[in-house]
């Protein structure tokens, strides 16, 4: 029987291997919750927006890879966008265009107030916001997430 490679599983494994090495258990747990949470939110939004669920999930899984791996959040979007290039190339599973879409989405994901990014860029920002807000939906929505979250609720028919 031929073994079919599932790209989301491959990248999930890469992310898990990185997270396993985080010494602080709280930080490690936060990494699992956030990266897999954003990936799931990205899948939901990709279905709604007719984008590739697979590419959206993989961008979600990798978007804060650099920050969790190094513990350094300073310019983690641009550093992470560079870091995923060899990481994705090494798997041999992604086209040049797919790598570019994922890297570009990661590059722009911290600029939440900008709304003119590529479809995957905006999707990733939105997935990031959804995960932060829905991690504990009983808390008030932080101001920095309020505008995007209100738009998302509208898009998803929640208001």
Give contact residues for Fe ion (rule: CB under 5 A).
64, 128
- Closest approach, Cβ 140 to Fe ion, in A, equals 19
Closer residue to Fe ion, CB minimum distance, 88 or 129: 129
Closer residue to Fe ion, CB minimum distance, 30 or 93: 30
- Closest approach, Cβ 63 to Fe ion, in A, equals 6
Closer residue to Fe ion, CB minimum distance, 6 or 82: 82
- Closest approach, Cβ 31 to Fe ion, in A, equals 10
- In terms of C-beta density within 10 A (0-12 exposed, 13-18 middle, 19 or more buried), how is residue 129 classed? buried
Which distant-in-sequence residues (6+ apart) come within 8 Å of 60 by Cβ? 35, 38, 39, 40, 41, 42, 43, 124, 127
- Closest approach, Cβ 48 to Fe ion, in A, equals 20
Closer residue to Fe ion, CB minimum distance, 99 or 127: 127
Closer residue to Fe ion, CB minimum distance, 122 or 128: 128
């Amino acid at each position: 029987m031929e073994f079919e490679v599932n790209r989301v599983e491959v990248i999930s494994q890469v992310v898990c291997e990185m997270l396993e090495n985080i010494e602080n258990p709280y930080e490690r747990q936060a990494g699992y919750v956030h990266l897999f949470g954003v990936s799931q939110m990205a899948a939901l939004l990709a279905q709604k927006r007719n984008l590739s669920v697979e590419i959206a999930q993989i961008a979600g899984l990798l978007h804060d890879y650099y920050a969790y791996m190094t513990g350094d959040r300073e310019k983690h979007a641009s550093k992470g966008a560079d870091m995923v290039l060899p990481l994705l190339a090494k798997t041999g599973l992604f086209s040049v265009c797919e790598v570019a879409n994922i890297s570009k989405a990661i590059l722009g994901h911290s600029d939440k107030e900008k709304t003119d990014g590529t479809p995957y860029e905006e999707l990733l920002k939105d997935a990031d916001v959804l995960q932060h807000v829905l991690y504990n939906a009983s808390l008030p929505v932080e101001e920095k997430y309020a505008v995007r979250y209100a738009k998302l609720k509208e898009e998803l028919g929640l208001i």
